[in-house]
Every structure is written in structure tokens, then in C-alpha cells.
Structure 1
Amino acid sequence: MKVQGKMFLWLAAFLVAMAIIYGLWSKEPAGTTALFLAFGLSLMIGYYLAFTARRVDAGAQDNKDADVADDAGELGFFSPHSWQPLSLAFGGALAFMGVVFGWWLLFFSLPIILIGLWGWVFEYYRGENRTQ
């Protein structure tokens, strides 16, 4: 994970340099803003990966002598039967259609998004840890 963090931090340094050069040379605000936003996003991702790499064990990608098989294994838990992403996708599509057809459509999409988000967060919150 250290390698990915460094890659994104180097990308952030490159993007801020290009944003400054592009902004001074072209005096075009849209592209300059997009480059600065890309700088901010890559900086956030790079910081997160570098910060997380200090707290977890070194992965196979951090070892120069590692094979592909060294990184095999369980990657995490993914819900096999969740319907909540469908609700979020429908609510998100409705919200983006609100930008096209009228902002009033957001009033209908927001409850769908909130219900989907609530269901996804608390999908496996059952049993002894459940609040009464």
C-alpha cells in the first residue's frame, strides 16, 4: 500500500504543477479548476493510502521479490444478496434527472437515497448489538 500512496502523492505534485502552468499560460478557468480539483482528489487518496499503510502490515505489493500468488487470499466481506445498491442507484438516477428536468425531482429522490443508505449501513446490524 505504500507504493500506491506514493504514486498518488507524486500524481498530486504533478497535477498541481500542471495546474499552475496551465492556469498562467492559458488563462482558462474551467481547465485550471479541473486540474486543481484533480490535484485535491489525488492528494486525498494518496494521504489516505500513506496513512493506512503505516497502520497495516506490509502487503505483497510492498515486497520487490513477491510473486503474484503471495497476494492471494481473502479480500474482505461483500454482501451477496443486498438490494440496497439498487435503491441507491435508482435514487441517484432520479436525482441526476432532477438536474435535467427540474430541481423539484430532488424532493422525490432524496427519501429514496436516504432509505437506501440507511438500509445499506444497518443491513447487518442484527442480534446482540441491536438497539432496542
Structure 2
Amino acid sequence: MKEQGKIFLGFAVFILAIAITYGLWAKEAAGTTALFMAFGLCAFIGYYLAFTARRVDSGAGDNPEAEVADDAGEVGFFAPHSWQPLSLAIGGALAFMGVIFGWWLLYWSIPVIVIGLYGWVFEFYRGEDQNQ
């Protein structure tokens, strides 16, 4: 994580230099604002990774002599048969189409998003997967 934090912080410094140069040269508000927001996001992620790297053990990515196989193993648990991301994608697509075609479309998209989000959060608390 240390290396990843350094990469993001270095990228944040680069974007900051580009944002200042672009702002002084182009005098255009939208692009300058977007570049400064990109700087903030990179700095935020870089700080989080650097801060977290101090509290956790160093991984294979921090060892310059590590092999690819050193980082192998279980990554985590992923739901093998979840339909909830599809409902969230449909609800999100309807919401973005609501911005284009009319805000009235949000009346149909928000319930789809809420149902999909509720289902995704609680999908392992019902049915055969329910803990007793």
C-alpha cells in the first residue's frame, strides 16, 4: 500500500501543477475546476492509502523482490448469483435519463434504486443464507 499511496500522491502533485498551469493559461473555469477536483480526489486516495499502510502489514506489492505468486490467495467473498447490481444499473440508467428527458422520470427510477440497494445490502439475511 505504501507504493500505491506514493503513486497517487505523485499523480496528485502532477495534476495540481497542470491545474495551475491550465487555470493561468486558459482562464476557463470548468476545466480548471475539474482539474482541481481531480487533484483533490487523487490526494484523498493517496492520503488514505499512505495512512492505512502504516496500520497494516506490508504486502507483496511493497517488496521489490516479490514474485507474482506471493500475492496469490483468497481475495474475498463475492456473491455468485446476485441480481441486485442489474436493478441498480437499470435504476441508475433511468435516473440519468431523467436528467435528459425530464425530472418526472425520477419518480420511477428512485424506487428501483432503493429496492436494488436494499436487496444488495440484505441479500444474505434472508432465505437459505439467513444466519440463525
> Aligned equivalents of 2:55 and 2:118: distance in 1?
29
Q: Alignment RMSD, CA only?
A: 1.2
Q: What residue in structure 1 maps to residue 38 of structure 2?
A: 38
1:64-108 deviation digits (Å, cap 9, x = unpaired): 110111111111111001111011000001001101110111121
Letter in 2 for 1:18: I
Question: How high is the sequence identity, in percent, across the aligned residues?
Answer: 73
Q: What residue in structure 2 maps to residue 54 of structure 1?
A: 54
In structure 1, the residue corresponding to 2:49 is in which secondary structure?
Answer: helix
Aligned residue pairs, count: 128
From 106, 124, 131, the counterpart of 1:127: 131
Structure 1: segments with no counterpart, 5+ residues: none
1:42-121, aligned counterparts within 5 Å? 42-121=42-121
Structure 2: segments with no counterpart, 5+ residues: none
Q: Which TM-score applies when normalising by structure 2?
A: 0.91
Q: Which TM-score applies when normalising by structure 1?
A: 0.91
> Aligned equivalents of 2:54 and 2:24: distance in 1?
37
Q: Could you list the runs of 4 or more consecutive aligned residues of structure 1 that deviate by over 2 angstroms after TM superposition?
A: none
